[in-house]
């Protein structure tokens, strides 16, 4: 299928505009990260007049960025893995089975998206405290509590997304697998999941990013040992002033692992996975 000239032109223009839209603030961030603080506070200039890497050095000591970064990576990765696993099972159940309570489950799960986070906060904290008192498992001021909170936060959308995604996968695949003697679990793992890989990956990315960027619960439920980057960055805004250049530098540096991850996952989004699978 060849592309017409008009289509090619449109494609180039649209993609360039989008790239510009995304790049301009990013460029501002990079440029500000290499300026001394005073220049950043003044009029914006595209290129720094006195470039310096001081911000990249100071940012590790103004705020314990290394520790925060490690916490964020651990919490987000764990939350993503567990969330995706739980979501896959739930989505498989909802999309492949009709059972009593299915609609109720879906509606309940959806309704959790409608409550402002701040309303959850106090009651959830209370629950964690009571659990800690009863069982000794430390859930507040700990990474575990964050993991549990975050993986639940990303569940509703993950389940919905996967239900939609799995729903689009033709039943013919299931039937073919069953004819070959596979039970539901094997069908799920051997046949459906590989086909649904782009969707699963999108969900994994979403779950990771939800945990990565969450601010409200992290600000209350962590202490200095378990604090994550999302909240930790606010430490650059001190009683004195906002260390703009360090904020920019830190943001860029902490986004590197995530962006690298995106780059790495590119090839799993390649098309052509289901074409011809149902024969």
Number of Cβ within a 10 Å radius of residue 164? 12
- The residues with which 255 forms a beta bridge, in sequence order, are none
Q: Which is nearer to other proteins, 24 or 53 (CB)?
A: 24
Q: What is the CA radius of gyration of the chain?
A: 23
Exactly one of 51, 118, 190, 194 binds other proteins (CB under 8 A); which one?
118
Exactly one of 9, 53, 57, 237 binds other proteins (CB under 8 A); which one?
237
C-alpha span between 159 and 165 (Å, rounded): 10
| Three-class DSSP labels, 92-123 | HHHHHCCCCCHHHHHHHHHHHHHCCHHHHHHH
Q: Which is nearer to other proteins, 53 or 85 (CB)?
A: 85
By the rule CB under 8 A, 273 interacts with other proteins: yes
Q: What phi, psi does 53 have (nearest 5°)?
A: -100, 15
3-state secondary structure of 46: coil
**Of residues 120-179, which lie at the interface with other proteins (CB under 8 A)?**
120-127, 129, 132, 138, 140-145, 147-149, 151-153, 155-157, 159-161, 163-169, 171-172, 174-175, 178-179
C-alpha span between 66 and 72 (Å, rounded): 10
CB of 115: closest distance to other proteins in angstroms?
5
Report CA-CA distances (Å) from 234 to 68, 167, 188, 200: 12, 42, 43, 32
Q: Which is nearer to other proteins, 53 or 215 (CB)?
A: 215
**Of residues 42-61, which lie at the interface with other proteins (CB under 8 A)?**
42-44, 61
- The residues with which 237 forms a beta bridge, in sequence order, are 242
Q: Which is nearer to other proteins, 54 or 141 (CB)?
A: 141
CB of 57: closest distance to other proteins in angstroms?
14
How many residues in the shown chain lie near other proteins by CB under 8 A?
Answer: 166
**Of residues 8-37, which lie at the interface with other proteins (CB under 8 A)?**
10-11, 14-15, 18-19, 21-26, 28-29, 32, 37
Q: Which is nearer to other proteins, 55 or 63 (CB)?
A: 63
Cβ 162 vs Cβ 196: under 8 Å: yes
**Of residues 189-218, which lie at the interface with other proteins (CB under 8 A)?**
198-199, 201-202, 205-206, 209, 212-213, 215-216
- Draw the binding track, 82-111, toward other proteins (x: CB under 8 A; -: no contact): x--xxx-xx-xxxxxxxxx-xx-xxxxxxx
CB of 53: closest distance to other proteins in angstroms?
18
C-alpha span between 91 and 85 (Å, rounded): 10
Exactly one of 134, 135, 270, 279 binds other proteins (CB under 8 A); which one?
270
- Draw the binding track, 61-80, toward other proteins (x: CB under 8 A; -: no contact): xxxx---------xx--xx-
Cβ 68 vs Cβ 204: under 8 Å: no
Least Cα distance to 28 among 243, 236, 235, 248 occurs for 248
């Amino acid at each position: 299928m060849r592309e017409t000239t008009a289509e090619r032109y449109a494609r180039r223009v649209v993609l360039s505009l989008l790239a510009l839209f995304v790049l301009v603030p990013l460029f501002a961030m990079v440029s500000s990260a290499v300026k001394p603080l005073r220049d950043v506070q003044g009029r914006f200039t595209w290129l720094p007049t006195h470039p310096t890497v001081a911000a990249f050095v100071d940012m590790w000591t103004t705020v314990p960025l290394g520790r925060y970064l490690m916490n964020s990576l651990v919490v987000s990765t764990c939350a993503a893995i567990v969330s995706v696993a739980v979501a896959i099972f739930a989505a498989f159940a909802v999309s492949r089975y009709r059972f009593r309570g299915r609609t109720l489950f879906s509606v309940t799960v959806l309704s959790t998206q409608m409550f402002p986070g701040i309303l959850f906060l106090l009651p959830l904290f209370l629950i964690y405290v009571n659990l800690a008192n009863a069982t000794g498992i430390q859930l507040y001021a700990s990474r575990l509590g964050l993991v549990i909170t975050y993986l639940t936060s990303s569940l509703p959308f993950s389940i919905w997304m996967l239900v939609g995604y799995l729903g689009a996968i033709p039943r013919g695949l299931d039937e073919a697998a069953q004819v070959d003697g596979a039970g539901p679990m094997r069908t799920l793992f051997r046949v459906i999941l590989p086909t649904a890989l782009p969707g699963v990956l999108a969900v994994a990315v979403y779950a990771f990013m939800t945990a990565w960027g969450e601010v409200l619960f992290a600000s209350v439920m962590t202490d200095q040992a378990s604090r994550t980057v999302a909240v930790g960055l606010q430490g650059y805004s001190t009683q004195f002033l906002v260390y703009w250049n360090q904020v920019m530098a830190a943001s860029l540096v902490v986004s590197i692992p995530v962006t690298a991850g995106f780059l790495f996952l590119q090839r799993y989004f390649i098309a052509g996975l289901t074409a011809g699978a149902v024969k």
